[in-house]
Structure 1
Amino acid sequence: MLIAQISDSHFLVPPGRLAGRFETAAAFERLMGSLANLAVRPDLILFSGDLGELATREEYFAIGQGLRRLEVPVLAVPGNHDLREPMWSELGDMLGRTEDGFLCVSDDRFPMAVIGLDTLVEGEPHGELCRSRLAWLEAQLEKARGMPALLFMHHPPLQTGLEAMDRIGLRSGAAELERFIRAHGGVQAILCGHMHRAIQGQLGGVPVRVAPSVSHQIAFDIRDGEPYRFSDEPPQFMMHLWQPGSGFVSHVVPVNG
């Protein structure tokens, strides 16, 4: 199974520029071209949050138009720059929704269960997995007992060393998540975004892959007290190859153009 993971597009309707500098709509169009021209077509696209910058319906409508042209199944979860209601109104076919209104998604069309977690705290940059979302996840993993599973979410459930970003990381739920992963025994990987860098770690013995941004990156700087800064590294996405018995092999791919 081949999975394209895209993250952190921060789409702004033209002529908007992020930080007065990044033309994120143009970057998104280049991304769509790169995905359309891949030599091997992915079986699934996962969007791990921060789709829009201002979270307007116009942003999500444009994103949906681009993604649907690819004619590849897409699953998405919100990031801290997203809002649930406009995202649901324009991208509902790519999302799931719990009884409590969280945009968590579970899909059983593939050789492994694909489960997306909504870590959004609306109005705040940090993320959390509250009791309701954790209960939903526990139920989905129980349904997937005995089969491989893949989790994806926006905020990584680990500390990366990028202090300014870690302060707005996942503030609650990581310990429970690790416990559920160990109990299930078949989780293959956790795919995340938020950090605007390619980062690898692990939780409960399971690989954590953090995707870079498809628009703009954050500089590598693990000194104490340093604020985050944008870097001039190119837009990138990830391609994950999963094979039964072999696990995940992950590649970082630059956006062409």
Structure 2
Amino acid sequence: MITVPSASQWGSPTASRRALLIHGLNSSSHTFHRVASVLAAKGYLVVAPNLLGHALRKPGVDFQVQTLADDLLPYFQAAEYDIVIGHSMGALVVLSLLKYLPKTKPTSVVLVDPSLELSAEQMVDAKVRFSDDVRTNPTAEDYMSLNPLWTREDAIWRVLGTHIGRPTNSDDHIDGNVPWSFSRLIADRPAAAALTILVAQPSKLDCVAKIKNIRTVIVSNASHWIQYEFPDVIVEEALRNIEE
């Protein structure tokens, strides 16, 4: 029997189609609750693992994105997936797993608002932004006030994700991945994998402008948390890859 790390699951275990959803930094599997619910309603068994150092899981020997990815390899040994989606740092984990996807089975891969390339200055700014959530300890009401498109459930899962992760996660994972450069991993995707990148800010796509055979989508009026604000867009793009 293959032992897999802790995860949340939606849909029927007997479903013929499968989706794997990977959360980002200072978050947890339930950040995808809205996307997962829609996919489950469409007949998918949806599995969302909790990354090392998150959701009360102890960290690995280091904080490299590849280490987070390798920890999830049992999921690929246990099953094949029609859809693989990652948010933020989880999208970088997905990129690190592309080389393990089946070579011939069509797979829809969706990266949700990833920062594929960051300068040293941008890495410092990112540490400050993520650390603020831990330091200021926002409530669900605070998040709902700042993000009018969020539901109360979204805000609760955001608070919980921060509280059940390690307080030094942001610093450890950002410092552990210098230089922050991941767009090169797109070349590892099998020919059968269709790749879509969803972003809130067009500038995040500059580093992939010359890469062929990927779909890029700018989600208007979205923040970094597209899975809360426009979950249907994520699902539509994931299914579009399969249909085409």
Q: Give me the TM-score of the superposition, normalised by structure 1.
A: 0.36
* Greater helix content: 2
Higher relative contact order (CA 8 A, sep 6+): 2
Q: Which of the pair is proportionally richer in strand?
A: 1
TM-score between the two structures when normalised by the length of structure 2? 0.37
